[in-house]
Structure 1
Amino acid sequence: MYAPRQAVAAAPGLAQALTLIAVVALPTMAIVSLVPNLPQLFAHFGQTPHAPWLVPMILTLPSLCVALLSPLAGQLVDRWGRRPVLLLSLVLFTAIGVLPVFMESLHAVLWTRLAVGLAEAGIFTSQNALLGDYFEGPARQRWLGWQSILSPVLAAGLVVVGGALGSLHWQAPFLLYLLGVPVLAAAFWCLPEPARPHASQAAGDAATVGATAAPTAASAAAPDAGWPWPVALRVAGVTLAVSALYFVQAVQLGRLLAEHGLTSPERIGFYVMLSSVGVLAGGWVFTRLPVGRLPLHLALVLGCYGLGFLGLGGAPALASALAAALVAQFGNGVAIPALIAWALGRFPLAHRGRGMGLWSSCFFAGSFLSPLMLQALQAATGGLLPAVAWLGACSLGVAVALAAVGWRAKAAPTPALR
């Protein structure tokens, strides 16, 4: 098995960090650039049987593939190396992602989305593993925060461009997948494969991680240790629950704004971009949060979801709905770096690929389940806005409970969530 050390031959720095951020922004583009175009997709494919269920899957089907295939991608990343898996995944992502430009059938488009999801599984798993290999301790925390800040900036620009392209034709936003070409070139030149040390060397690196990052002591486990099932189950459960809420706004914000009176794809794209300011603020705040306090981190995230969803579901005017979207997006800005930092710190070095494959699997399983959950809640509550408000009330209640747990455990992280 591949047990990578924590640094490449030349010390990683700005070029590696920015390239990794660009890499992870590409799969995000697969969702956000199509969000303002969702009404056009419903209009174009509205007569297709089962369109209310199938059309949203244009956005979410790649996430299903990530959920199913990321554990396999993690095995390949640990066995064959980070760089080969990443480069091949970027090639597939770019070449297949652009194909809907030449298609008219909803079912054909959905098949391409499955293939894009296969590529995304390799991208997310190898990117997270490389970030953990290149950086440790405060540097890792800092770049995860900046990833949370810069990725939404890139994605927000693509939302605006996607909305503008969608006003021309429903197929036009898929041209944005050609952005994978320059990202592939940057990854080829800037992301070397981490060295593969001997067992004794790897053990020394693991000890170094344990000495320099106390909250990530699980990383110091021996490189040939067995798969850490208790850690894996905790990471899986927490990540799945948070991601199901995370993707409510990430996928449905265009529809939510349409419920409040917006119909123009350009205006929807602009307001989605505006709400992303909350993500930037959340990422910046994460870099300054205390390390190893996951209950309080999650209380902050779920509190923002609660207030934001309640506002989006019951806002009397568009302005108050936008304010609520900003609050929920602040929670999104904290959620991803907090969960990734926690997972990277909990898995031993020898299992980092599999561990982050599990993380990606659970995160994107939530992405696929989120619209299904919302569809069921719509049937129970009578509409999209009441369903979102109900989720907000539940999130706020859990946030209060987690805050109480976090403050009681102020002297040390809660063992169940460490």
Structure 2
Amino acid sequence: MKGWITGKFGSFVRQYRGTSMNSLEKTSLTDAPQWSQRHRDWVLLFASMFSLLAGAAVAPALPAMAAYFSHVPNVGTLTKLTLSTTALFIAVGAGPAGWLIDRIGRKPVLAAGALITGIAGTSGAALDSLYLILVSRALLGLGVACVVTSATTLIGDVIEPARQASFFGRQTAAMKFGGILFLLLGGALTTLSWRAVFLIDLLAFAILPGVLRGFPEATRRAVQPRARLSLPWRNARVLAPVFATFACQLFFYMIPTQVPFHLATTVKAAPMAISVAIALNLVSAALVATQIHRMIQWLGARQVYALSLLTMALGFGLIGLGDSYGVFVCGLLVAGMGTGTIFPCAAAGIVSVVGEAQRGRVTGLLVMMAFAGQFISPLVLAPLVQSIGIGQSFLAAAAALLACAVIVPLWLSAANE
């Protein structure tokens, strides 16, 4: 009896108060308490949805916000910056967040990111200065960077290797469906007040209990606290997926920024019809993303990249050549099939290439380039649209995607030789 009690007490202490140095060497993030295993997947998926929280939720409130701050010079530009500023600071913050994840651990960065997201995001409901709201959206971007980078890193840590591709597909689906959900919720709250939309960021606090209780920290650095953590910058199995993700996001962002104008001018589509068309693109991407593990198993990663980029090119070609609402919808559905598979394939690939000690920074690089593509897209493609028009710009993007469909698989092939 004494031995049994001593064993149980020792197990309790190790679980809730830490372990000895020898135990730390054996500890893994996969050693989560049994009671948390059914919940941690949902915590990670919910945290991943925050990548769409910043932009999708606030977008419906922009006209009302611009009207309230009509006395502010350049109010139109400044209100639109409330979206792009967040994307910029997610890209800026993802790299440092990845470094912190590898240095101090996943859980502290994820918890701090959730706190920053909740506090900075909801502050917009009380601030009465457009400039201060912009500052709060920048801080929100840093918080979201910590949350999404930590969550993606944790997937590589706590999910068994055989399930990782499938789970990254579910993560992408959660992001897409989250975008639709937050867009609808933001529109509903905007009918009450443009300030009410910022209260959606209170959802960030909901993940804190799951983060604090469901993820034991693997303190690898306790074994080698001063080890120099080199990063495989020249590894094509890291760089090629990151490049594919950047290209995907660069061109994907043409859909929410250019398709509404293209549909309105070409087929005189009503606002609701435009919203349905873009929502179908997100649904298509989400559904295909859930099958990424089967695609990788059947085709292999190189072929998945080639097929995804070719599918995006086909969809963009249909959008560029379309002359009816039905053709545009078909193009958006096809393009969604391509965009939905690239990020989960890239994430699954890079977490399997690098060790746990490097995983945070490599994941930070992936998240950074994804959001950099979103931020750069309007800056790079707006002059092209002004020069040759929206339709021709989609055709040019289709040609660039065809080139990427050749470059990425060849790049990966060279790495395997």
Q: State the TM bucket, normalised to the shorter chain.
A: 0.7 to 0.9
Deviation at 1:258, TM superposition (A): 4.4
Gaps of 5+ in 2: 1-23
User: Is 1:323–2:330 an aligned residue pair?
Assistant: yes
TM-score by length of 2: 0.80
Q: Secondary structure at the match of 2:296?
A: coil
Aligned to 1:275: 281
Q: Secondary structure at the match of 2:184?
A: helix
Q: Secondary structure at the match of 2:230?
A: coil
1:9-20 matches, within 5 Å, as 9-10=32-33, 13-20=37-44
Distance 1:48 1:392 in 2: 40
Instruction: Decide whether the 8 Å contact of 1:67 with 1:363 is kept in 2.
Output: yes
- Of the structure 1 ranges 336-345 and 224-233, higher mean CA displacement relative to structure 2 is found in 224-233
Of 231, 234, 255 in structure 2, the residue corresponding to residue 230 of structure 1 is 234
1:73-112 matches, within 5 Å, as 73-103=97-127, 105-112=129-136
Deviation at 1:195, TM superposition (A): 4.8
Amino acid aligned to 2:30:
A
1:103-139 CA-partner distances (Å, limit 9, x unpaired): 4654333222111111012112211111111013211
Deviation at 1:170, TM superposition (A): 4.2
Aligned to 2:360: 353
Larger radius of gyration, structure 1 or 2? 2
Aligned to 2:251: 245
Instruction: Decide whether the 8 Å contact of 1:160 with 1:270 is kept in 2.
Output: no
User: Is 1:7–2:30 an aligned residue pair?
Assistant: yes
Taking a change above 3 Å as real, the CA distance of residues 168 and 395 of structure 1, as seen in their structure-2 partners, is: farther
Instruction: Decide whether the 8 Å contact of 1:149 with 1:284 is kept in 2.
Output: yes
Instruction: Decide whether the 8 Å contact of 2:149 with 2:363 is kept in 1.
Output: yes
1:18-417 matches, within 5 Å, as 18-35=42-59, 54-103=78-127, 105-166=129-190, 169-196=193-220, 199=223, 226-231=230-235, 233-234=239-240, 236-249=242-255, 252-259=258-265, 260-262=267-269, 264=271, 268-291=274-297, 293-382=300-389, 384-399=390-405, 401=406, 414-416=413-415
Aligned to 1:215: none
- Of the structure 1 ranges 224-233 and 14-23, higher mean CA displacement relative to structure 2 is found in 224-233
Aligned to 1:211: none
Distance 2:80 2:306 in 1: 29
1:38-58 CA-partner distances (Å, limit 9, x unpaired): 666677778865566544432
Gaps of 5+ in 1: 203-222
Instruction: Decide whether the 8 Å contact of 1:62 with 1:116 is kept in 2.
Output: yes
Deviation at 1:226, TM superposition (A): 2.7
- Of the structure 1 ranges 365-374 and 171-180, higher mean CA displacement relative to structure 2 is found in 171-180
Deviation at 1:17, TM superposition (A): 1.2
- Of the structure 1 ranges 5-14 and 17-26, higher mean CA displacement relative to structure 2 is found in 5-14
- Of the structure 1 ranges 335-344 and 172-181, higher mean CA displacement relative to structure 2 is found in 172-181
Taking a change above 3 Å as real, the CA distance of residues 180 and 248 of structure 1, as seen in their structure-2 partners, is: same
Instruction: Decide whether the 8 Å contact of 1:159 with 1:273 is kept in 2.
Output: no
Q: Secondary structure at the match of 1:322?
A: helix
Instruction: Decide whether the 8 Å contact of 2:153 with 2:359 is kept in 1.
Output: yes
Deviation at 1:329, TM superposition (A): 1.6
Distance 1:24 1:282 in 2: 18
Amino acid aligned to 2:285:
V
